[in-house]
Amino acid sequence: MLEGPSYLVSRDLPSSCEQESTWIYNTYRVIELSNGKRSLEDGEEIGLRKSFKPLIPLQRVEAVHVAKDNTLAQTNHSNNQRQHGDQSDSSSLIHQIGRDLSINCLLRCSRSDYGSIASLNRSFRSLIRNGELYRLRRLMGIIEHWVYFSCNLFEWEAFDPIRCRWMHLPTMDSNECFMCSDKESLAVGTELLVFGKNIDAHVVYKYSMLTNSWSFGMKTNTPRCLFGSASLGEIAIVAGGCDSMGRCLSSAELYNSETGTWVTLPSMKTPRKMCSGVFMDGKFYVIGGIGVGNPNELTCGEVYDLQTRTWHGIPNMFPALNGGVGGNNAPPTAKAPPLLAVVKNDLYAAYHEEQEVRKYDKVRNLWVTIGRLPEQASSMNGWGLAFRACGDQLIVIGGPRAAYGGMIELNSWVPDGGPPQWNLLAKKHSGGFVYNCAVMGC
């Protein structure tokens, strides 16, 4: 997402990039001070400066001298541009160090700063918006995770857990039929996909973080809802669900956000809807759900190997909930799909009825209780509660039930082998019911 201005300062970078980091800071600082204007992508509050390290005294002195040189360079560059059009530095970005080193520095900046960087000139704006930086970051293993969720129909918000900052997305331009339909969400690459149904057809709305806008996305080859899904980098897989006639599906598809295309995969062994999907150990898992002609919850799981393009069944992978302390005997169709999350290739589940967090033992194929959910993590048979992996931490988003609105809380915990010690990241007044949630890592 392109955001409001925040200063770029020196970071702990490899020695080969220390000079380039100084250039980035000075270039942006000089241009900002000389122009005295806000970012072209303004609209969000300024990031928390305490998340950055200040320059040490020597760096400040060097910065002053380099800033003066940059001011002269900017003046000369401006004059040359007036004489020679846009040919001066359109390809070199920071022309003093060249395009390659410029990009090498930008890769190590926080994605929160990209909105400010895009406001420098057309070259930076084009570089941010064409997605090149994010593709290179992914190749280098540089990933930041933001949480996207909806507590009000048509309204989406994003949360940056590093700077603890809330951001509003543009309102979705959809009709009431879509608003009332079952909706699934999926973050893949730099896109947020929201699946639903209009009056006569399934549709996909796509939010692009590069342009901060909504548009229609490419529909799946087989229209579906209530499916399991998960993403891994620039790809995502959806599996199962039900079609427009309510028939339970076994089909699966792979989406590539770089090409915007869906490819049909081999079908699962068991048709299922209201299931959950995760990536673990580089493989895609589908767990739980409801099958054909069986009113009970499925306890089996399946795993898809992307290398061999084959499915393998896992019996008794997810035992059905037992009703919890309150003895909730709601039918399976009234319950939410399994609340699952993978952190460092370990699978966790939120057993909402028991208010417990359990970890999956891959060797013994069983679940071990490791602790409790946050106190405010209430739900309606699992609906309204988000349980997600966000980088190396588990995130729980929810709030207490309230007839007059509510408070939403974001709690996090970094699994460390012990029981969960939840840390309250943020809270705000909002609808206490989470309709959809996805985590975008890029």
The b/e string for 238-265 (b: 16+ C-beta within 10 A; e otherwise) is bbbbbeeeeebbbbbbbbebeeeebeeb
Check residue 179 and give its pLDDT: 80
CA separation, residue 433 to residues 107, 152, 354, 372, 403 (Å): 36, 8, 19, 20, 11
Structure tokens at 167: 């951001």
What radius of gyration, in Å, describes the C-alpha atoms of the chain? 24
Contact 384, 352 (CB under 8 A): no
Check residue 295 and give its pLDDT: 74
Contact 265, 304 (CB under 8 A): yes
Cβ-proximal residues to 425 (8 Å cutoff; 6+ apart), any chain: 159, 161, 164, 395, 410, 411, 412
| Domain spanning 174-320, CATH class | mainly beta
Backbone angles phi and psi of 51, in degrees to 5: -80, -5
18-35 and 57-84 helices cross at what angle (nearest 10)? 70
Cβ-proximal residues to 307 (8 Å cutoff; 6+ apart), any chain: none
Check residue 196 and give its pLDDT: 92
Check residue 404 and give its pLDDT: 60
Check residue 180 and give its pLDDT: 79
Residue-range domain boundaries for the chain = 15-139, 174-320
One digit per residue, the tens of pLDDT, for the chain of length 442 reads 433 333 333 333 333 344 444 444 544 443 343 344 443 333 333 333 333 333 333 333 333 333 334 433 443 444 444 444 344 445 668 888 888 898 998 999 999 889 888 888 888 899 889 999 999 999 999 999 999 999 987 899 999 999 899 999 999 887 778 887 889 999 999 999 999 988 888 999 999 999 999 999 999 999 999 999 999 999 999 999 999 888 999 999 999 999 999 999 999 999 999 999 999 999 999 999 999 987 789 999 999 999 999 999 999 999 876 544 444 678 888 899 999 999 999 999 999 889 999 999 999 999 999 999 998 778 889 999 999 999 999 999 998 766 566 788 999 999 999 999 999 999 988 877 899 999 999 9
At position 147, the amino acid (one-letter code) is V
Check residue 331 and give its pLDDT: 86
Check residue 201 and give its pLDDT: 87
The Cα–Cα gap between 296 and 290 comes to 7
The b/e string for 91-102 (b: 16+ C-beta within 10 A; e otherwise) is eebbbbbebebb
The Cα–Cα gap between 70 and 389 comes to 43
The Cα–Cα gap between 312 and 308 comes to 11
The Cα–Cα gap between 88 and 123 comes to 11
The C-alpha angle 154, 427, 173, rounded to 5 degrees, equals: 10
Instruction: Give residue for tokens 């493989």.
Output: 283
